[in-house]
Structure 1
Amino acid sequence: MNDGAPVSGRQSAASMPAIAGIGLRGDHYEALLAGDFGDQAGPGWVEVHSENYFGDGGRPLAVLDRVRAHWPVSLHGVGLGLGNADGLDRGHLARLQALVARVEPGWVSEHLCWTAAGGQHLNDLLPLPMSEEALALVCRHVQQVQEALGRPLLVENVSRYLDFAASVIPEGEFLAELVARTGCGLLLDVNNLYVNHINHGDDPLAIVAALPAAAIGEIHLAGHSRREVRGRALLIDTHDAPVCAEVWALYRQVLARIGPRATLIERDSALPPLPQLLAEAAIADACLGACRDEPA
């Protein structure tokens, strides 16, 4: 097990460790590179948002090169739009290809969502109806991405704040069929499972049970916000708070079903000091260790 200290050389997808990592954000560049971890171990691995490193140069890429020399790195996209009805943005995909060639990441992941229509790009991860038409579209796009990158793509489940009348395929079955048709992997966001459970009554463990466990390469954990809308609670996937007790409990149940997986503590705003973020990663590592210790 990596204890969080830098590792030499680059690691392949097959060697991405089933331990806890953190998302790299600009506020933490200096502390991470300086090893300013307080009384915490360093991260087991680091994930970055792909689009933040699409430039031809500059400080972000220079920092990423230094980080990649010491820790395994995963690329996580937010703008490719696997569900875009107008097709994939070829320029976006070309920039992703170039970044993958430069970084040689352990994984490349994207969201099961749409992000643009009619040439207008929206700053959100918009959910798809779970229909055969949407499934065929996403499968076509996932295959195009995998052919371009020469590697499997991990596809992440998303939060949603409405239900579609056209949704006729349960989410777990939709994702399982996506894996079966394309050979892609899955990034399981446990916070999104919990958000949809509270907002819509989804059964998160039934969704997990429907998934091919071997396809799940990574897990995300994050915080959310609670709002009152017309007298009922609505959870918003804001990534601006610590992981709550209920999501930790669901995470432990997921691990009990699928076994240890590389787990990311995802924080995008209201960023705490790096040692505080690493302390959350340490909780995930403890959960992973307990899972390994459980009898089969």
Structure 2
Amino acid sequence: MQRLGTGIGWRPEIADAVERMPDVDWVEVVSENLCPDHPPESLKRLRARGVTVVPHGVSLGLGGAERPDEGRLTALAERALALGSPLVTEHIAFVRAGGALTASPRLEAGHLLPVPRTRDALDVLCENIRVAQDALPVPLAVENIAALLSWPGEELTEGQFLYELADRTGVRLLIDVANLHTNHVNQGEDPARALAELPLEALAYVHVAGGFERDGVWHDSHAHPVPEPVLGILSDLASRVTPPGVLLERDENFPEPGELERELAAIGKAVELGRTAAVGRTAAVGRTDGVGHPAGIGRTTAGGRPPRAT
């Protein structure tokens, strides 16, 4: 993957502040909020000085029963070409139901809903991603989402599900460490186990965001400071692989620019802590596995897959 560096989600409310940030290497923009023929002047200025812009889609619904809408795929492709983007991203989620495959009218959820981690759902998701990959002019990366619920009868852990997805389709992964924390609080899932099971060679970049807990439920608000547990998961990830890019998401309740810059600095420190830990483990073991991983870290089974849960 292209080395992206440190990034921030571009939003109109903080456009001026982002332009003045000295250490921002790239930005991500919500694809559906962008007109490719008339991009904001701020994005034009950022691109002119060499800042990479990545379109981030929210409406494809790759986890739905229907094939991806051709019009939405065309729109995402147009934005990638207009911005000269090295890749585009979307979510592992479904966002609508009903319509052609049922007798009920089509309903838009207005929210990213979790895909059941079953073999059948994985088959549908893989086919939808292949359709999207064929229609896009640049590589696609897909993001794990934050879930308030899990489906009954799930057959795979989050890490296993993502591993199978990347293995079968070659799709890149956008790993949101804040979403791993959300699923830890709300579903009791272990973020370290998820990271251990992921095909980290498929990592495109990483999302980091804040949220808040209320009555034992973690809300992925993108409107609060990044908490220490999320930074800890980021350090764990960085101890396993050097992320090509790390991006701070903030969608509302925007703080003053200095606070955003301090959050970016904290993210950079968390990545550096992870790298230091990896070096320390390598030195302690005194050998590597031959591909740059400390021995015993990030290893897979003989079949190339991470160990399975039993």
TM-score, length-normalised on structure 2? 0.82
Aligned-partner SS, 2:260: helix
Is the 2:36–2:82 Cα contact (8 Å) retained in structure 1? no
Secondary structure of 1:15's partner? coil
In 1, Cα distance between the equivalents of 2:274 and 2:218? 28
Q: Match of 1:267?
A: 250
Could you say which residue in structure 1 is the equivalent of 2:263? 280
Distance 2:122 2:35 in 1: 28
- SS of residue matched to 1:63: helix
Q: What percent of counterpart residues are identical?
A: 36
Provide, for residues 175-207 of structure 1, a one-character-per-residue CA deviation record: whole Å limited to 9, x for no partner: 111111110010111011111111111011111
Structure 2 vs 1, CA of residues 107 and 275 (structure 1 numbering), >3 Å: closer, same or farther? Answer: farther
- For residues 167-206 of structure 1, what are the structure 2 equivalents within 5 Å? 167-206=154-193
SS in 1 for 2:7: strand
What TM-score do you get using the length of structure 1 for normalisation? 0.86
- Give the 4+ runs in structure 1 shifted more than 6 A: none
Structure 1: gaps (5+ residues): 1-13
Aligned to 1:8: none
Partners of 1:221 and 1:266 within 8 A in 2: yes
Alignment partner of 1:89 is 2:69: yes
Is residue 28 of structure 1 aligned with residue 14 of structure 2?
yes
Look up the SS of the partner of 2:180 in the other structure: helix
Please name the residue that 1:101 is paired with: 81
Aligned length: 271
Map of 1:223-262 to 2, 5 A cutoff? 223-228=210-215, 233-262=216-245
Q: CA deviation at 1:275?
A: 2.9
CA distance in 2, matches of 1:279, 1:223: 14
State the distance in 1 between where 2:127 and 2:88 align.
17
- In structure 2, list runs of 5 or more residues that go unmatched: 99-105, 283-310
Please point out which of 136, 142, 145 is paired with 1:149. 136
Larger RCO (CA under 8 A, 6+ residues apart): 1
Correspondent of 1:63 among 31, 42, 47 = 42
What do you get for the CA RMSD once the two structures are aligned? 1.7
